[in-house]
Amino acid sequence: MTFDDVCVLALAWPGVERSTSYGTPALKVKGKLLTRLREDGETLVMLGVGFDERELLIEAEPEMFHVTPHYRGWPIVLVRLPQANANVVEAFLLRRWREVAPKRLVKEFDAGKG
C-alpha cells in the first residue's frame, strides 16, 4: 500500500479531507486527525489503538505493525505501508473515523449502507 491508497479508502467517507500534520500528509475529519504519514513516507500513524491491542498486533504481524519509543506512551500503532493489508488498514481507519467524525455523519453513513 501507499499513502495514496489510504487516501482513496478514507476520502470516500463523509467529512474526510486531505491536510497536513507535523509537516506531513494527513487525513482529517472536520479538523480532527484521522491518520498521518510519517516523515519516512512509508509509515502510517494509526491512532486509537490501545496498548494491549497494539502489543498483540506487533506480536502477530511484526512485519506490518511496530512502534517507536516516541509513540510508546500513546494509543498509536505504526503501520509499514509496503507490507500492509488494505482490508486491515481500512478497518482500523474506519474505526478511527467513527470515533472522531460528528455523530450526524456517522448516522448518515450508516443509513446509506442499509
Instruction: Report the chain (114 residues): mean pLDDT per 10 consecutive residues.
Output: 97 97 97 97 97 98 97 97 97 97 94 75
The confidence score (pLDDT) of residue 113 equals 73
Q: What's the sign of the alpha-carbon dihedral 52, 37, 65, 31? A: positive
Sheet with 16-21, strands from edge to edge, namely 16-21, 24-29, 32-37, 43-47, 76-80, 65-66
- Does the predicted model carry a pTM greater than 0.75? yes
Does some domain include residue 60? yes
Q: Phi/psi at 78 (nearest 5 deg)? A: -100, 140
Does some domain include residue 18? yes
Does some domain include residue 112? no
Domain that holds residue 39: 3-105
Does some domain include residue 110? no
Query: What is the count of structural domains for the chain?
Result: 1
**Amino acid identity at 59:** E
First to last CA, the chain: 29
Domain holding 42: CATH number?
3.90.1150.30
Does some domain include residue 113? no
Does some domain include residue 114? no
Does some domain include residue 111? no
The confidence score (pLDDT) of residue 112 equals 85
Residues β-bridged to residue 67: none
